[in-house]
Amino acid sequence: MRVISGTAKGRPLKAVPGNNTRPTTDKVKEAIFSMIGPYFDGGTALDLFAGTGGLGIEAWSRGMERVIFVDREKISIDVIRHNVAAAGAEQAVEIYRNDAERALKALARRKIQFDLVFLDPPYRMSTMDELMSEMAKLELLAQDAVILVEHDAEISYPQELASFRQVREAKYGDTAVTIYEYLSSNDSADRGDSSDEEQ
């Protein structure tokens, strides 16, 4: 694994030992950032089931100003710290060992809002739509924030979800990527059924 593009291009990234963490392949990562970027002019990102930290590090390398990494496993946290240092991103990140829901509540207390969120949970988890709704309820999302869900290709997430507009879905073998844009309740009502505009 490596950083594909940006200021840390080519830096090697370490994988988490064992079979419990499934890092995003370089091919899928390149496709993801072609869809949501490919580059950014600042902003704050959240890598919630961070694993190796590869997605958040790539976002920072491509222009995100600040990235917060969360994972519940100590072994993953150790790997994230290593990879952040390898990329030279220490000054731009925060790394926390916590489960997703408790982390979101802690971040909400700090009044943080995210412009980009990566949700790449263990494949057995299929409740990212519920987690997105919780993020909206906690006011953790900036207007027009992009939420990217990486999941098993056999799982389908809804096209219509309160406060969110699905803008893209793509499959790469047994991996699928679903991308949403966050809308405020007022903006969501104004835009109505605009979810069909972009395929």
Give the mean pLDDT of 125-148.
95
> From CA 191, how far away is CA 189, in angstroms rounded?
6
* All structural domains of the chain with their residue ranges: 29-34+41-147
**How large is the angle between the packed helices 54-61 and 74-87, nearest 10 degrees?**
20
CATH of domain 29-34+41-147: 3.40.50.150
Place of tokens 């869809």: 35
The answer to whether 128 and 157 have CB atoms below 8 angstroms apart is yes
Q: pTM for the full model?
A: 0.90
pLDDT tens for 65-107 read: 999 999 999 999 999 999 999 999 999 999 999 999 999 999 9
- Cβ-in-10-Å burial (0-12, 13-18, 19+) of 112 comes to middle
